[in-house]
Structure 1
Amino acid sequence: RGVSITEYCDQNRLSTKDRLHLFLQVCQAVQHAHTKGIIHRDIKPSNVMVTSHDGEPLPKVIDFGIAKATNHKLTEKTLFTRYAHLIGTPAYMSPEQAELSDLDIDTRSDIYSLGVLLYELLTGTTPFSEEELRKAGFVEMQRVIREQEPVKPSTRIRTATSAGTSVWSTAFRRKEPRKRGTPNQDGVRSAPYQQVRGDLDWIVMKALEKDRARRYDTAGGLAEDVRRHLEHQPILARGPSTGYRVRKLLRRHRAQAVVALAFAALIAIVAVGLSLWSRDRFHLAQAEKRRHEEILAQARQAFFRSEHARVIETIEPVLDSKHVGLAARLLHNQVLKDLHLRVDHCTRRIMANPTEANAYSERAHYYDCLRDRIKACADMAMWSALQCQRAFWNSCFGAASSLECTVSGPFGYQLVFSAERPVSQIPLLSIAFGQKGRREMKVLEIPMLMTLLIGFGLVSTIDVPPARADFTFGEPVNIKSIITVIDAAMPDVPDGFSSDGLEMYVRSYRPYGSGSIDLWVSRRTTIASDWGPLENLGPAVNSSKEDSAGCLSRDGLTLYFDSDRSGSYDLYMTTRVANTAPWGPAVSLGPKINSSASGDVCPNISPDGLELYFVSFRSGGYGGADIYVARRASTNDPWGDPTNLGPVVNSTYRETNLKLSADGLLLVFGDLSVSPFRPGGHGGGDMWMTRRASTSSPWQTPVNLGPKVNSPAYDAPLCMSPDGQILYFATLRDGKVDNWQAPILPVVEFNGDGKVDLVDLVMLINDWGKSNSVCDIGPMPWGDGKVDIEDLKVFMTYYEKENPPAQP
């Protein structure tokens, strides 16, 4: 509702000053749109409506039908205001808009249109009338807009007045006080063109420059010059001379200027003395600032390494620093918050399983970092009590007086356990290990009592196991240095791999595909070979829209993906008869899986093909986007109704970018790219994981992947390698997307002493056959729910790295 700005001004007979005040509000609205990354491209009176709010006029900029986002093409396909193929209204169109291409349009195009609007508010007509442009024809109209200079507003008013043409002259005759509380300074009667001549001429002509580099940079800059004119300050439009600036200054501050000159000499003398004194203080402050910044940097490095105790110890001296105090306190609070979240997580684990010893030791470590020594000691007492209850002997070797077990390790190594219980002697566990056929086996005899003392932490060389995750991440590396066929500038995004690691499926924005985003594949002959060039999956799979998030079944014969070809995002599948055969046509998973009027994305198929996980924006969830799963009895049966994973996994903070590990025991997901984000993260959208003990067990409470892979910017998981050894993820920093990979490393030094040695081996043996153990490190880094031969193989691999066998 309301009327156009020109109609409102004419109907209410607004004066020049009132019109300028109204125009200032329009500039502010356009500036706000520009800061949000939006270019209007069709500013004109009919798109600037004025309503009354509490008796005051309130202009509103409407009709963003052909608006353009500065970073993305939002409205290139549907244009509402056209003349031939020009985007916009000719009378208000900038020269660059008349070039028949909007590829080089920026915010200064709107500055030109604002200049036309101001011209019309001052003169009652546009610089080039719509009637003249219509009569000129299409080509001539383009030439006029691009090349012909308009007459100045004051000249247009004077010419119209001399010719007897009405130029909203009644507005110039309004002399009543303005309702804004500011006196109307148009009280001195003057001709209409004299009110516009000078400052307003220069402001309008600067906004109407053909060369956009000579216009105002922003709508705020235009508004600022109008405001300076209203307040009798020098304007920037014509680069005023020194005399002009002085005249304006004296007009506004005659008395103050005299006083300023009187104190100028005194100020100069005081300034010299203060400068000498402040110089010394400045040098001292700079030295202190550098020292405090170095301390803060050390604390941040410790935080990225998850060394919470060191962060607190390092950061405390600079918490009240005037240089880095705010940043130090924020980091300190973030560490405390992270510690409390970890304590809460351990507490939930203990409540779920009161006999989980490692949960007590982890919580004790966090309590120790929080300086709560009483609770830390209490948890360690519980840990020791639970550890001493383990009965390795019976679970592994039974009750016989002498048993032997041989295990084949990696690289041809053998590990032989020999348990003996001599009469009237201390029971011994003999451990022999070595490379078969190369040298004699190395034999160690460990008293069985030692395996019990580990539980109490009484052996002097064995430290208390630290609180930590079951696996960690190595240093992230940019994918482009490893997989050269992936080009982040396209961008190319890896979606997943075949189970044999010889096919890599990629979503890409490459311009020569079937649609805006297509699915591509790269192949290699062996795991050690380089990846071949990307090949488009072709029109049978890809559509003219967006097709992405490819997920391959374990047998490599079914590819699941999402697509918006139907108007909203749905899940699709395509099949092939063999791994070397082409893919067949894409088929929708149907209404059983795909919801109406919502988005269903990121499909992930379980290794047995009986579970389909995906992200859905359907109603009835816990947040805007939740994780769902559909199940079926066999691969030949139809999918059942999707089920929400529930509040343990899903939250009100929206989960997306879902990835399921090759063994189906680890689910990695990310935050949506817009706030709010799940609390406890490290930046503007983090990666999280949830685990389950087996494919039939429930999913556990999600935990953050940590600062090694989560940055202060936005991070999203892409996929994992088939062997679970590498996490691929994307990071959005400084408006640029980059792909990264980080190794997933099991924690092998079980007692936390920083060494992989026989003490850790004894702990692994002591936990043989147990579940929920810190020794469960294979075959994937997160384990398989039981300490067995797979964990021993992984341990031997790391043991040989730190303790290479001597050459014969």
Structure 2
Amino acid sequence: MDPEPPSPGSAKDADLAGWLRVGLSDWDSEESADETVPDASLPDDLLDLRRYRFHEKIGEGGFGEVWAAEQIDPVRREVALKILKPGMDTRQVIRRFNQERQTLAIMDHPGIAAIYDGGSTSAGRPYFVMERVDGLPLSTFCDEHSLSIRARLELFLRICQTVHYAHQKGVLHRDLKPSNILVSEVDGHPVAKVIDFGIAKIIGGDLDATADPFMRTREGWILGTPAYICPEQVMLGCIDLDTRADIYSLGVMLYELLTGRTPLFEAGTTSMPMDEWAHRIRNVEAKCPSALAAVASPEIVTARNAANASSLARQIRGDLDWITLKALEKDREKRYDSAAALAEDLRRHLADEPVSAARPSTLQVAWKFAKRRRALVGATAASLLILIAAAIFSTAAFLRESRMRTLAEAARQEAQRHEQEVARQRDLAMTSANEARVQEQRATKTLEYLDTLLARAASFAARGANAEALRLALDDVTLTIPHFTEDPMLRETILGRTAVIYRSIGHEESAIPLVKAQLEIAQAKYG
């Protein structure tokens, strides 16, 4: 017996945190019933639907059940009739059931089961009649028919195109999984049909998360099948979902077609606590499909018509890795923006053309690793911060010491320059003193010469020589000029002065030798 969901605001809500609503069905949403149900065991209100002859119950979920039947009026054909279970006719459930009926009514596509009829039974249970799809779930069909990777991709590409059609009609499926895609063989070719729009959402429609309690995520209440729902469906529930939620589910199915398992769960999640699988969906990154294919079991390899695991991995490695992982991005902004874009990349791969999906950058890989290993990265980051702090402290100490050494060297060089300047000034002072002594000696000798000259002139004048006496004195004193050879400048000066005196008394002939001697000294000095 299926569990009933808690009514909103009931007193039992606190005790039902672990109760999980998975779409309109349980983990296995459709359980095949092999027994043919006789008319006697049919509910009375189904017997009242005399246009249909019921064969057997072929599926059952949390709120509804599906019967295989034959329509006998006005046309004869095999159909599937979906009807609400007895006792489940609450206002919210009926509203949801009617939306599924309306969702199918607005779509007309060969890849979606068509709706033929609808109404309510005499007991007031709503139902609708749709095309009966006698097929196998997607993954089962592919494995049983040993479809190669290429054949699987060609089939899956058409499924993506069907989902894109639904999106264009404003329909978000929200429960895409292999059991909701039935595949049959028609004229030797696999044909897929998307079924079960029981929790679909008409984008922009009246029925949304704010209006319908069954579309809200409460504690322990999530719509969808855990292995195939996207991270935002876990975090946001049914609020703010868009077509990229279905892209993620398509990515999970593609991963399963390639590797034989879903990216995050090897088996079902029935026995796994809700918080554990929810954490895994939000935070655990999928491995590259080719990495799993490389260690695939012989059964998985054979089902994909490959020679061995290495051959299977080679067929997947590269483009199919990046296409699948792009569809499975945790951040929906990084996924394909439409099912058509995913289909186009698959077409390009099959045609050996470049695909838009690319190998993740080193930065993206590092970021994803950090998100997966937060504790390890946190500890590593703390260690790095300590090392960086130590390095900064050591560097600062080194720079401070280096600066002190630089300042000390600058002070030493400044002191050396000062000492050199003092020595230079001292040398200049000594040179000046020596020069002063030389000048003093010159002046003294000049005075001695003049004193001698005047004394001789006075002596000659006393004897009545007058001007002739001065000439005679000059002739006498001139004889002492050669004694000034140790000081050429003094000798030059005395020669010049004496020549001037000779001229002043009219003895030009006596001045000429002195001027010549003066010129010789000047030429020797200045070149």
Scaled by the length of structure 2, the TM-score of the pair is 0.40
Larger helix percent: 2
Higher RCO by CA contacts (8 Å cutoff, separation 6 or greater): 2
Structure ID, larger Rg:
2
Larger strand percent: 1
Scaled by the length of structure 1, the TM-score of the pair is 0.26
